[in-house]
Amino acid sequence: MSDQNQASLRKDTKRRQIVLAAFKLFTENGFYATGVDLIMRQSQVSKRTMYIYFPTKNDLIVAVLEFYRAGYENKLNAVLTRQDLSSREKILVIFDDAKNGFANGHFHGCLAVNAMGEFAGKDPAIETACRVFKTWELSIFEELTKELPVRHPQDLAFKLLVLIEGLGAIAQVMKQPCPIDLDQMVNALIDEHY
């Protein structure tokens, strides 16, 4: 490996360390409540290194939101690329996975929604990262509903997004498992569009 490649790898490793530490801290504590000094300590980097990669805390927040989306996208791709599942079954798997995640005692809500709550009207780059995340999430449901023999697949996709977002918000506040049959609710919603 060349010296240039080794230097690039070290750079990527340091950047990733910072993003991973910030992701964990932002998820658990929120954005405003997490200071840069704590992120530096958790990621074991100096102030100089921190500011080389992220000149501002808000730059780091955007990177964390991009990391969050990439992780969710990788997780969903494992479902979306399965040939043995119909589009309806893929939607049900997405909701089942979400339900399991929401039931986790460490669930602190959608990071993009939390970021928008803290930064709406304050930082256009963070707002854009949040919109990109939610637009992408909606596009997943749009692709899946287009493959179903339903009327108004885009409307159905938006309803599915509203349902999953609502379930996440309720789980964040109530801190309890979903008490309803989610498969039944999703199937009924899809059936309404036939």
Lowest mean pLDDT across 39-48, 79-88, 95-104, 120-129: 95-104
Domains and CATH numbers, the chain: 1-55 (1.10.10.60), 57-191 (1.10.357.10)
- At 22-32, the pLDDT tens digits run 999 999 999 99
Whether residue 128 contacts residue 65, with contact meaning beta carbons closer than 8 Å, is answered with no
pLDDT in tens, 131-171: 999 999 999 999 999 999 999 999 999 999 999 999 888 88
- Alpha-carbon distance of 84 to 69, in angstroms, equals 25
The average pLDDT across 69-93 equals 95
Distance CA 177, CA 179 (A): 6
Alpha-carbon distance of 22 to 36, in angstroms, equals 9
pLDDT at site 5? 43
Rg of the chain over CA atoms, in angstroms?
19
pLDDT band at 121 (very low <50, low <70, confident <90, very high): very high
CA–CA gap between residue 133 and residue 121 (Å, rounded): 17
**What letters, b where the CB count within 10 A reaches 16 and e where it falls short, cover 152-191?**
ebeebbebbbebbeebbeebeeeeeebeeebeeebeeebe
pLDDT of residue 10 exceeding 70: no
Q: Does residue 6 surpass a pLDDT of 50?
A: no
**3: CB partners within 8 A, 6+ apart:** none
Mean pLDDT, to the nearest integer, of 29-52?
96
Phi-psi group of 110: left, alpha or beta (phi > 0 → left; psi -120 to 50 → alpha; rest → beta)? beta
Tell me how far apart the alpha carbons of residues 62 and 128 are, in angstroms, rounded to a whole number: 9
Torsion on CA atoms 132, 138, 141, 145, rounded to nearest 10: -130
pTM for this prediction: 0.87
